[in-house]
Structure 1
Amino acid sequence: MFRPEAQRISHMRTGFELIEVIYHATVRQLRGSHSNAVVALVMNVLQAVLVLVLFVVMFDLLGMRRLALRGDFILYVMSGVFMFLTHVKALGAVAAADSPASAMMMHAPMNPIIAVVSAALAALYKQTFAAGVILFVYHAVMQPITIFDPIGTMGMFILSWASGAAIGLIFYAAKPWQPDLVGILSTIYQRANMIASGKMFVANQASAWLRSKFDWNPLYHTIDQARGDIFLNYQPRYTNIEYPIWAVMVCLMIGLMGQFFTRKYASASWGKRR
């Protein structure tokens, strides 16, 4: 008689509440790197500029400018750098998201899925903002640029982000079991993609032996496909869009299964002995 009855909430209302929580968690992720959100975004842009300058200088010193595509050389370098940064930043953000045993999970609306989604969206926002600012400044100050297929280019940008987030989810699921080892493996993967992404050469001009060393990497396919969308005179012959999509789906399923398994056993006491 006096037992309180639980209020029935519609699925639509639950969905909007979930979106609201994801939004606030994403904002928290954006402000997490610095007390001032604007300064955090500016620092992210400067980091992208430094990586871009590093690769331009590297191409010049190694005499690799002749291997680039016909067209704007800086835009060619940007096509690889932006995809690479989006991939590794999404991977790092998801892998470092709040674990099931963290203090944030003590709040009722919060759960690991929200933590992962918000971390991935924050990384996407930062890299999209950085790429947009750099492209605009280069177009307005240096020289005008033309992108043959902007929609296709943006699609490859999103696919690079999605593949990084999906692989990061696997690291996220394994991290509570061996935090130090998983952290090392995540760092090694991110550093290895400096070379393994294949952004320093054109796939159509590479030998079959060299291509075989990079075919496993979804980022290698998205970078090459993006260059086909950016440059009018380049048509990718040895990469495709289907492989990164399937890689995202497979990694996402493995990561979700691992995360659901880990959530059953994860405990705050695991880290007390460390």
Structure 2
Amino acid sequence: MFTQRRTTTIFGAAGTTLALIHHQTVYNLRTEHRNAVVGLLLTILQTAIFMGAFLLIYLVIGVRQSPIRADFMMFIMSGIFLFMTHVQTVGAVSSSHSVSGQLVKHDPLNPAVLIAASALAVLYRQTISCIAILWLYHVLIAPVEMTRPVGALAMYLLAWLSGVCVGLVFLGIRPWAPRGSKILTTIYQRVNMFASGKMFVANILPNFMLPWFTWNPLFHVIDQERGYMFINYSPQKTDPAYALWFSCAALMVGLLINFSTRKYESISWSATQ
């Protein structure tokens, strides 16, 4: 009973890893709230409040219709859903584990499992939140129609993937500069409040302002999302390939930092924190 089970085949190892990711994802979801249903309702409420705040801002500044010939609320949701998914994934992955954490001391677990579980927990919560809000809007207010739902879903997953890769970079920095990494993560999340482009349409943006936004993969993803959702909008200044290549580059940088850090990271580093 004190002997740990060892897998001898690649399929057995893959099954064990997937099981660990599943259980750790459930654990992360339950840590948000003791009741899983209440935790999901709180996530839905948070997104709804965010949407209400932006709707109020639009009404205060006098904007009462979408800059695209489409439903105004769908225009708002197309930006907020992707923004919330990206930003929360960055925060979750950047704080997914630490060398001094208690869970890391259990042999079956490893950093890859903890990172994957943190990212999947955010994806699960935000996906349920988006589906619930869209369903309520479809039933209570107006029918929800998307021109190309498969492309819209692909952009949603790309927003999540880019958040995972950016969060991995901040995770690699955290052991060397814990407070600095937290500050950088917060700055990145706050900058995306404006730099993500969720409040305006990229096609009407003047060319001299484009460099302020084109560096951000979320800016490209949100604009492309609206191109897939609305039949009357064709993105001209963004490219989904940029977001994909940016994510791949951030993933490689994050992996290099994390693998290099594990050679030197020590539990004593967190003694003064």
Query: In 2, are the aligned partners of 1:25 and 1:115 still within 8 Å (CA)?
Result: yes
Q: Which residue of structure 2 aligns with residue 220 of structure 1? A: 219
Alignment of 1:190 onto 2:189:
yes
Aligned-partner SS, 2:119? helix
Aligned-partner SS, 2:115? helix
Alignment of 1:147 onto 2:140:
no
196 and 7 in structure 1: CA distance in 2 versus 1, 3 angstrom threshold? closer
Q: Which amino acid aligns with 1:175?
A: R
Alignment of 1:86 onto 2:85:
yes
How large is the RMSD of aligned CA atoms in angstroms? Answer: 1.4
Q: Which residue of structure 1 aligns with residue 265 of structure 2? A: 266
Normalising by structure 2, we get a TM-score of 0.96
| Structure 1 residue 57 displacement after superposition | 0.8
Query: In 2, are the aligned partners of 1:101 and 1:266 still within 8 Å (CA)?
Result: no
The aligned runs of 1:39-78 (5 Å cut-off) are 39-66=38-65, 68-78=67-77
Q: Which residue of structure 2 aligns with residue 106 of structure 1? A: 105
Aligned-partner SS, 2:46? helix
Q: Which residue of structure 1 aligns with residue 248 of structure 2? A: 249
Q: Which residue of structure 1 aligns with residue 128 of structure 2? A: 129
Aligned-partner SS, 1:238? coil
Normalising by structure 1, we get a TM-score of 0.95
| Structure 1 residue 209 displacement after superposition | 1.5
Q: Which amino acid aligns with 2:161?
A: A
Q: Which amino acid aligns with 2:224?
A: Q
Alignment of 1:19 onto 2:18:
yes
| Structure 1 residue 8 displacement after superposition | 6.5
Query: In 2, are the aligned partners of 1:67 and 1:202 still within 8 Å (CA)?
Result: no
2:48 and 2:15 mapped to 1: Cα distance?
Answer: 37
Aligned-partner SS, 1:131? helix
Q: Deviations over 1:196-220 (max 9, x none)?
A: 1011110111110122210000000
Query: In 1, are the aligned partners of 2:172 and 2:258 still within 8 Å (CA)?
Result: yes
2:193 and 2:132 mapped to 1: Cα distance?
Answer: 23
Alignment of 1:165 onto 2:164:
yes
2:70 and 2:235 mapped to 1: Cα distance?
Answer: 16
Query: In 2, are the aligned partners of 1:90 and 1:165 still within 8 Å (CA)?
Result: yes
1:252 and 1:8 mapped to 2: Cα distance?
Answer: 28
236 and 105 in structure 1: CA distance in 2 versus 1, 3 angstrom threshold? same
| Structure 1 residue 63 displacement after superposition | 2.4
Q: Deviations over 1:70-116 (max 9, x none)?
A: 11000000000001000001000001101233111110111111111
Q: Deviations over 1:127-155 (max 9, x none)?
A: 10100000000000111121111100000
| Structure 1 residue 59 displacement after superposition | 1.2
Q: Which amino acid aligns with 2:63?
A: M
1:71 and 1:244 mapped to 2: Cα distance?
Answer: 25
Query: In 2, are the aligned partners of 1:100 and 1:111 still within 8 Å (CA)?
Result: no
Alignment of 1:33 onto 2:32:
yes
2:196 and 2:248 mapped to 1: Cα distance?
Answer: 19
1:209 and 1:62 mapped to 2: Cα distance?
Answer: 24
Q: Which amino acid aligns with 2:176?
A: W
26 and 157 in structure 1: CA distance in 2 versus 1, 3 angstrom threshold? same
Query: In 2, are the aligned partners of 1:100 and 1:112 still within 8 Å (CA)?
Result: no
Q: Deviations over 1:133-185 (max 9, x none)?
A: 00000000111121111100000000000101100000011111111111011
12 and 144 in structure 1: CA distance in 2 versus 1, 3 angstrom threshold? same
Alignment: residue pair count: 270
Alignment of 1:200 onto 2:199:
yes
2:234 and 2:265 mapped to 1: Cα distance?
Answer: 48
Query: In 2, are the aligned partners of 1:167 and 1:252 still within 8 Å (CA)?
Result: yes
Q: Which amino acid aligns with 1:212?
A: P
| Structure 1 residue 266 displacement after superposition | 1.6
203 and 17 in structure 1: CA distance in 2 versus 1, 3 angstrom threshold? same
Percent of residue pairs identical: 40
The answer for unaligned runs of 5 or more in structure 2 is none
Q: Which amino acid aligns with 2:126?
A: Q
1:231 and 1:67 mapped to 2: Cα distance?
Answer: 11
| Structure 1 residue 67 displacement after superposition | 5.8
